[in-house]
Amino acid sequence: MQRTLRVAGHEFLRHIRRPSFLFTTLFLPLVVGLVFLLSNFTDQRSTADAPAPETTAPTSGTPIGYVDASGLLPPPSAVATGRLQAFADEASAQTALQQSDIVGYYRVPADYLTGGMVGWVGNAETGPEGEAAMRELLRTALLRDNPVLATRLTTPPTFRTVPTEPDGGPGTATPDAQPNAGPVAFIIPYAFALILYVTIFSAASFLLQSVTEEKENRTIEIVLTSVRPLQLLAGKVLGLGLLGLVQVAIWLGSGLLLLQLSGVALPSGTALAIPWVVIALAIVYYVLGYLVYGSLLAAVGATVTNVREGSQLVGLLIIPCIIPLFFLGAIIAQPNSLLATVLSLVPFTAPITMMIRVPLTPIAPWEIAVSVVLLAVTAALLLWFAARLFRAGVLLAGQRLSARAVLRALRAA
Amino acid sequence: MTDLLVIDHVAKSFAQTVAVRDVSFRVGAGEIFALLGPNGAGKTTTIRMVLNIFTPDRGTITLFGQPPGAQARDRIGYLPEERGLYRNLNLLDCLVYLAGLKGLPAGEARRRLSGWLERFDLANHTSKKVGDLSRGMQQKAQFIAALVHEPELLIVDEPFAALDPVNTRLIKDVFYERAAQGRTTIMSTHQMHLVEELAERLVMIHQGEVVLAGTVRAVRQQFAANAVLVEGQGQLERLPGVVAMEPQGENGTVLLRLADQTTPQQVFRALATQSAYTVEHFAVALPTLDEIFVRVVGGERAVEVGA
């Protein structure tokens, strides 16, 4: 363990001092920042021209009428109805429509409370207008006895101003976002997947570099006569994972900084809205997810002869990590479906799937336990597997690692 | 002398090639032992089996009284033939790390390294990148890395390659010091004059098999032709029993080849009793290890000489 930590510390320090590391780590935020500031500038111009969001009650234009037969709606004077205009009966509404005083009117039937249907009489081509305003009016009316709840319901959620990615502009929330799913449902899995993905990728390139470099410069013979392959690889996976984390932290930090510098108010509610259980699980899945992929990549590093050959394989092996994002819609719609459960148990897809599901729905503790155990076991197995391939005897036997040689190495005592 | 390392009839093959066919030898504690052989003879494979990098196909290896394994790692120092250090690291960091892998805490490693770096004239280069050092300096650095943890067994492959006479002297001194402390050194080298000078015993491997073994002196005697080296005046070729005379070098020394039944002692007596000869130097002609090496690789085997 002590030597594993020694290797980890060495790998971390060795790579963090590299000019190439400093360059990518610091250069990327600068480029992204520049792009971001530009896009933010154009965004602000376009949002200025855009029509006001639909959820706010329209206050201009030809009025829209409504006829209340249910008796639920308050007298017209009791609410600020804006464009909406109450009519005592349908006949007067018809008259107003014929005289083009209104574009159309809503008919709230007597059985609205049980039926939930509201009729629209008016221009059939353009369809109902001011639907949102009508919905708001009805909501307010239904909750007349509970004004606080009414306010909370009618105040639109703040999700529209939350960027989905650190480099995304405002107003990029997924258009089909359901208000009840909340911003958290989308931001957490995406942000989590992005962070995990970037960590794996950056750590993977360091890992490949480090492993192949030792093979190329022949240090490996001395190193492997001093430490066990498992100690060496575990140290590398740990040290370089930490390095990847540092890189991601710098990128994230600078992303947030850029957001604030550019004057975009971060919705403070978002951070507070994430329950601590989700954060704790995110950390657990992040670490285990990295360990699984890190160990897999260490195994790749053991078999390839140069970095270029390895990079191609890495691209392929990381694909399972993003599979859950393809099923994002399905998982959000049914967080406890068989698909979601299976993806949560398969170690390669578990971290991101769990991060999609956890904020949405309570998950059975056994399910979390099984998936965590499976992840940990997979990470350990993969690391062991990589260590078998990484024994000096295998590396120095002077033959390329064919599938057969790999199998033989695994079987050997 | 207790045996530190016993290699007993080991063999190792890779795919179609037989690297080691049948090798046995013993190395005692405190010895300077030479492992010789032409390129591709199986020396490195043998060393790697001792280091537990390879497992022998047949035969057994006993190191520190046990089969080679993880427990022996910290007791061995190794300078591989293919040198390798972290080229992007500065010298001191690199050596501290390698010492750390052998179990030395960083503080202790720094303390010990400062002495070694001073001794090997590297103290002014500790903050330079390893890749910027000369080849000789890198080699010295790697030599230090192999012995800073004071291993009981030091295995060095071509330790003198790329070194000038001053640095060669430094390394020889280290070998002698280690021997005096009872620590063992196994060296594999092609520089035969250094083997003659340093090693007590040697084993020579050729095509995966031991072709020569024993003390350096005994091996040279085994290969001694019936000849004497003489420096002096007089008609040396007329001496009884001399069948041929070959001049050796510039200083007037000649090699006298003797008839089968003539001994060097008879020639010596003849020289001493006849006033026609003045002798400045007389020696039984022992072949150099270099010659023996070439002859053995050429197919010749040791002859059993009487007496």
pLDDT in tens, A67-107: 888 877 776 665 555 677 888 888 888 888 888 888 888 88
Write the Ramachandran bin of B121: left for phi over 0, alpha for psi from -120 to 50, otherwise beta: left
Beta partners for A386?
none
Q: What is the pLDDT of residue A59?
A: 46
Q: Is the Cβ of B87 closer than 8 Å to some Cβ of chain A? A: yes
Within 8 A by CB and 6+ apart from A148, the residues are none
A114 Cβ contact partners less than 8 Å away, ≥ 6 residues apart: none
Arithmetic mean of pLDDT over chain A: 73
B54 touches chain A (CB under 8 A): yes
Distance from CA of B85 to the nearest CA of A (A): 5
Residues 278-297 of A with CB under 8 A from B: none
CA distance B217 to B213: 11
Q: Which residues of chain B make contact with A227, given a CB cutoff of 8 A?
A: 73, 101
Closest among A379, A336, A371 to A350, alpha carbons compared? A371
Low-confidence ranges of chain B (pLDDT < 70): 1, 250, 301-307
Residues of B in contact with A220 (CB under 8 A): 84
Q: Do A219 and B88 lie within an 8 Å CB cutoff?
A: no
Q: What torsion do the CA atoms of A205, A207, A211, A213 make, to the nearest 10 degrees? A: 50
- Can you tell me which residue has the tokens 């068989």? A338
Residue ranges of B 164-203 with Cβ closer than 8 A to chain A: none
> In chain B, which residue's Cα lies nearest the Cα of A391?
B53
The pair phi, psi for residue A145, each rounded to 5°, is: -80, -10
Write out the CATH class of domain B3-220: alpha beta
Q: Does A222 sit within 8 Å of B145, measured CB to CB?
A: yes
**Using CA atoms, how far apart are residues A240 and A233, in angstroms rounded to an integer?**
10
Q: How many angstroms separate the CA of residue B179 from the nearest CA in chain A?
A: 23
A180 pLDDT higher than 60: no
Bridge partners for B256 per DSSP:
B228, B245
Least confident window among A44-48, A128-132, A172-176, B142-146: A172-176
Chain B neighbors of A228, CB-CB under 8 A: 70
* Residue B73 to residue A227, Cβ atoms within 8 A: yes
* CA angle (B100, B105, B106) in 5-degree steps: 80
- pLDDT category at A170 given cuts 50, 70, 90 is very low
Please provide the size of chain B in residues: 307
CB contact under 8 A, A218 and B100: no
Would you state the pLDDT for residue A182?
55
Q: Which chain A residues contact residue B97 at CB under 8 A?
A: 6, 10
B78 contacts in A (CB within 8 Å)? 221-222, 225
Put simply, the answer to whether A222 touches B97 (Cβ < 8 Å) is: no
Distance CA B50, CA B48 (A): 5
- Quick check: A396 and B53 CB within 8 A? yes
CB of A20 within 8 Å of a chain B CB? The answer is no
The model's pLDDT over B248-283, given as tens digits with 9 standing for 90+, comes to 776 778 888 887 787 788 878 877 787 777 787 888
**Contact B55/A at CB under 8 A:** yes
A174 band by pLDDT with thresholds 50, 70 and 90: very low
Pairing mode, strands B17-28 and B3-14: antiparallel
**Could you tell me the two tokens for B237?**
């070729």
Taking CA atoms, A321 is separated from A301, A333, A343, A376, B93, in Å, by 19, 20, 11, 16, 37
Judged by CB atoms closer than 8 Å, whether chains meet at B98 and A3 is answered as no
pLDDT digits (tens, 9 = 90+) for A31-69: 777 776 676 666 555 544 444 444 444 445 678 888 888
For range A279-308, the mean pLDDT: 80
Quick one: pLDDT at residue B173?
92
Q: Is B135 on the interface with A (CB under 8 A)?
A: no
Domain boundaries, chain B: 3-220, 225-285
Q: Which residues of A touch B76 (CB under 8 A)?
A: 225
CA closest to B131 among chain A residues: A217
**Hey, what CATH topology would domain B225-285 get?**
Alpha-Beta Plaits (3.30.70)
pLDDT, greater one: A205 or B140: B140
Q: What is the DSSP string of A257-268?
A: HHHHHTTPPP-H
Query: In 3-state terms, what secondary structure has residue A110?
Result: coil
Instruction: Compute chain B's Rg from CA coordinates.
Output: 23
Per-residue model confidence (pLDDT) at position A321? 76
CA of A350 vs chain B CAs: smallest distance (Å)? 36
Which of chain A's residues have a Cβ under 8 Å away from the Cβ of B103? 3
Structure tokens at A320: 């399972």
Q: Which two tokens stand for residue A20?
A: 């190439």
- With CB atoms and an 8 Å threshold, state whether A6 touches B86: no
Is residue B256 within 8 angstroms of chain A, CB to CB?
A: no
Rg (CA), chain A: 29
pLDDT computed for residue B186 by the predictor? 92
How big is the A-B interface in CB pairs under 8 Å? 71
Residue A151: pLDDT over 80: no
Contact (Cβ atoms closer than 8 angstroms) between residue A285 and residue A315: no
Per domain, the residue ranges of chain A are 2-42+172-411, 64-155
The rounded distance, in Å, linking the Cα atoms of B215 and A198 is 62
List alpha helices for chain B, DSSP H.
Answer: 43-50, 91-101, 106-119, 135-147, 165-180, 192-198, 216-222, 264-273, 289-297
How does residue A373 score in pLDDT terms, banded at 50, 70 and 90?
very high
